[in-house]
Amino acid sequence: MNHNPFHWGRPSDSTYGPYNQQIAHASNVNPMARQQQQSDFPTMHTQRPMMTGTSVLAIKYQDGIVIAADNMGSYGSLMKLDNVERLLKVGQDTIVGISGDLSDLQAIQRILNDLEIDESYDAGDDEDALAAGLKANHVHEYLTRIMYNRRSKMDPLWNACIVAGFDDEGKSFLKYVDLLGVAFASPTLATGFGAHLAIPLLRQRVDSEADVKKLTKADAIQLIKDCMKVLFYRDARSLDKYSMAVLSESDQKVEFHKDVKVEDMKWAFAKGIKGYGMPQL
Amino acid sequence: MDAINVDINHLKKGEVSLGTSIMAVTFKDGVILGADSRTTTGTYIANRVTDKLTQIQDKIWCCRSGSAADTQAVADIVKYHLQMYKANNNGKSPSTKIAASIFQELCYNNKDNLSAGIICAGYDEKNGGEVYTIPLGGSLHQHEYAISGSGSVFIYGYCKKNYKPNMTKDETVNFIKTSLSQAIKWDGSSGGVIRMIVLTKSGIERLLFLPDEYVNA
């Protein structure tokens, strides 16, 4: 005898629809706990990003790194906020630039803040001890573990991040990590639209690690400024006001520039463009 | 296949959208049309210096929003019909109402296949400045002023409160400049330069305002 009730004769699915499994599994045990037990998958909250930030750009130069991100918080096509700071300072000399969902950006902010507190606990007010503590490579590794583990639970932090700073030996550190847990390093990095429009421009000057020592600080800053200008021209979710951080290897310091505006834009040529095909006034 | 809850705003594959802010305002001496200059494919700005103000007849122009291809095609057809009208009526110019009517016929009869939101505005001696709006379904509405496009939703309140009938040319230019400045500020699909066309008894005047000029209007 076949004791499996599901294999006993029953009306065909095509006429009466599929069997309602809840009948077979009806019980008066706590329904929430029940749900967790039954499913083959972890609880998924895969999400869609709601309030978002666009590109983050970064490049290595001879004495460090320049990283920039604009101040726009978009809500779909609504340009809701123009004062969002997307470059986070972690520890003494690490900058994390974050694009993607803003609520997840704030979650990462809380996580990294807790990390900072934990790591600086024993140092107290000792500047040298603090400086020797949390470095960029530690921040990046920690963040990568978090991003990857969240994606493995099908509950990602919907962001793409660039970590810029110095490693334990004081050498420039620049690495990317995103919502999938993908992590990689390069002398030029960008997220979002920047990956399509800015990377080719950045790579024209710094094509490999060998070119890094030929790029001066002034040139690196100008290059990032030019890329932010191109992104403002072509990215429909960008703003012309942004923050830029310049990290120098020689003194292990971070210069933070806020409210930098895109300059030298060319618009006057629009005067000569009339109509779309045949000549018109 | 759901034929009732169809996303009519969905662009066909490869189609380019004029996510837009456009408006046309009648005033004492005629009518002024205004538009931004951004054309987007998704979030990429395909053209940052677009001319969305299109001439249909000497003093009949239209503002185009929606699919760039659809609005260009419709505008070209209306232009043709008005040229034929002029040829067949001894050189007599068609009225703005006639132009708007042809727009309406095309947009209504092809409503399933078009994504076009058009504002038709013109000046003639007899009627002065007139503004007609032809939204997505192909209906026709005459107004003292009209706003349209994705960016217009942010300025309904501002325009309602600040429009006055029979303004001077300078007042109207400022009204349009300030309104479109706000629409551009809040709408990601609008931006670039502000173009205007002034239609009066004296003729046709093209105006251009660059970002530095309008951003603090």
| B210 at A interface, C-beta within 8 A | yes
Mean pLDDT on B82-96: 96
Looking at chain A, which residue has its C-alpha nearest residue B186? A79
When CB atoms are compared, the residue of B40, B154, B206 closest to A236 is: B40
Residue B76 lies in a domain: yes
A79 contacts chain B (CB < 8 A): yes
* Residues B122-137 pLDDT 10s: 999 999 999 999 999 9
How many Å lie between the alpha carbon of A265 and the closest alpha carbon of chain B? Answer: 9
- Asked whether residue B11 is assigned to any structural domain, the reply reads no
Q: What is the spatial distance between Cα B51 and Cα B54, in angstroms, rounded to a whole number?
A: 7
Of A78, A235, A273, the CB nearest to B49: A273
Query: Does the CB of B20 have a partner CB in chain A at under 8 Å?
Result: no
Tally C-beta pairs within 8 A across A and B. Answer: 72
Is residue B10 included in any domain, yes or no?
no
> What is the per-residue pLDDT for A30?
63
At residue B8, the pLDDT reads 46
Q: Is any Cβ of chain B less than 8 angstroms from the Cβ of A33?
A: no
Q: What would the two tokens of residue B69 be?
A: 């291809």
Distance CA A85, CA A67 (A): 13
Q: Which of B150, B193, B211 lies at the smallest CB-CB distance from A77?
A: B150
Distances (CA, A) of B58 to A274, B83, B103: 15, 10, 17
Instruction: State the alpha helices, DSSP H only, in chain B.
Output: 68-88, 96-109, 156-162, 169-186, 211-214
Buried b (16+ CB within 10 A) or exposed e, A149-175: ebbeeeebbbbbbbbbbbeeeeebbbb
Beta-carbon separation of B55 and A280 below 8 A? yes
Q: Which amino acid is at B170?
A: D
Residues of B in contact with A273 (CB under 8 A): 49-51
Q: Counting every residue, how long is chain B?
A: 217
Confidence at residue B182, expressed as pLDDT on a 0 to 100 scale: 97
Pairwise CB contact (< 8 Å): B48 & A234: yes
Q: Which of A54, A79, A240 to mutate to test the interface with B (most CBs of B within 10 A)?
A: A79
Q: In the prediction, which pLDDT does A9 show?
A: 74
Q: Do A61 and A228 meet the contact criterion of CB atoms below 8 Å apart?
A: no
Q: How far is CA B39 from the centre of its chain?
A: 14
How distant is the Cα of B151 from the closest Cα of chain A, in angstroms? 9
pLDDT digits (tens, 9 = 90+) for B143-183: 999 999 999 999 999 999 999 999 999 999 999 999 999 99
pLDDT tens for chain A, residues 1 to 281: 777 766 777 777 788 788 777 776 776 666 666 555 566 666 667 688 889 999 999 999 999 999 999 999 999 999 999 999 999 999 989 999 999 999 999 999 999 999 999 998 888 788 788 778 899 999 999 999 999 999 998 889 999 999 999 999 999 999 999 999 999 999 999 999 999 999 999 999 999 999 999 999 999 999 999 999 999 999 999 999 999 999 999 999 999 999 999 999 999 999 999 999 888 87
Asked if A271 and B208 come within 8 Å (Cβ–Cβ), the reply is yes
Task: Give the pLDDT confidence of B93-118 residue by residue, as tens digits.
Answer: 999 999 999 999 999 999 999 999 99
Is B54 in CB contact (< 8 Å) with chain A? yes
Q: Is the ipTM of this complex over 0.90?
A: no
Q: Which residues in A lie closer than 8 A to residue B208 (C-beta atoms)?
A: 270-271
Q: Is residue B155 part of a domain?
A: yes
Q: How much is the pTM?
A: 0.86
Catalytic residue numbers of B, as ranges: 20
Whether residue A270 and residue B193 make contact (CB cut-off 8 A), yes or no, is yes
Q: Is A272 on the interface with B (CB under 8 A)?
A: no
Contact B201, B30 (CB under 8 A): yes
| CA-based nearest residue to A261, from A71, A94, A116 | A71
Domain with B111 in it: 16-214
CATH code of the domain covering residue B122: 3.60.20.10
Strand partners, A238: none
Q: Are strands A73-75 and A78-81 parallel, antiparallel or unpaired?
A: antiparallel
Evaluate whether residue B134 is within a structural domain.
yes
Confidence of residue B211 (pLDDT cuts 50, 70, 90): very high
What is chain A written as a DSSP string? ----GGGS----HHHH-S--HHHHT--SS-HHHHHHHH-SS---------EEE--EEEEEETTEEEEEEE--EEETTEEEES----EEEETTTEEEEEEEEHHHHHHHHHHHHHHHHHHHTTTTT-HHHHHHSS-HHHHHHHHHHHHHHHHHTT----EEEEEEEE-TTS-EEEEEEETT--EEE-SEEE-THHHHHHHHHHHHH--SHHHHTT--HHHHHHHHHHHHHHHHHHBTT--SEEEEEEEETTTTEEEEEEEEEP-S---GGGGG--SSSS---
Report how far apart, in Å, the C-alpha atoms of B197 and of each of A245, B69, B151 are. 44, 22, 19
Residue A13 exposed, middle or buried by CB count within 10 Å (0-12, 13-18, 19+): exposed
B188–A268 CB contact, under 8 Å:
no
* A contact residues 53-72, partner B, Cβ 8 Å cutoff: none
A-chain CB neighbours of B154 within 8 Å are 78
Could A234 and B54 be called an inter-chain contact, meaning their C-beta atoms sit closer than 8 Å? no
Query: Looking at the 3D structure of chain B, how many domains does it have?
Result: 1
Domain assignment present for B3: no
DSSP letter for each residue of B21-68: -EEEEEETTEEEEEE---EEETTEEEESS---EEEEETTEEEEEEEEH
Q: Is residue B7 part of a domain?
A: no
Q: Does residue B2 sit within a domain?
A: no
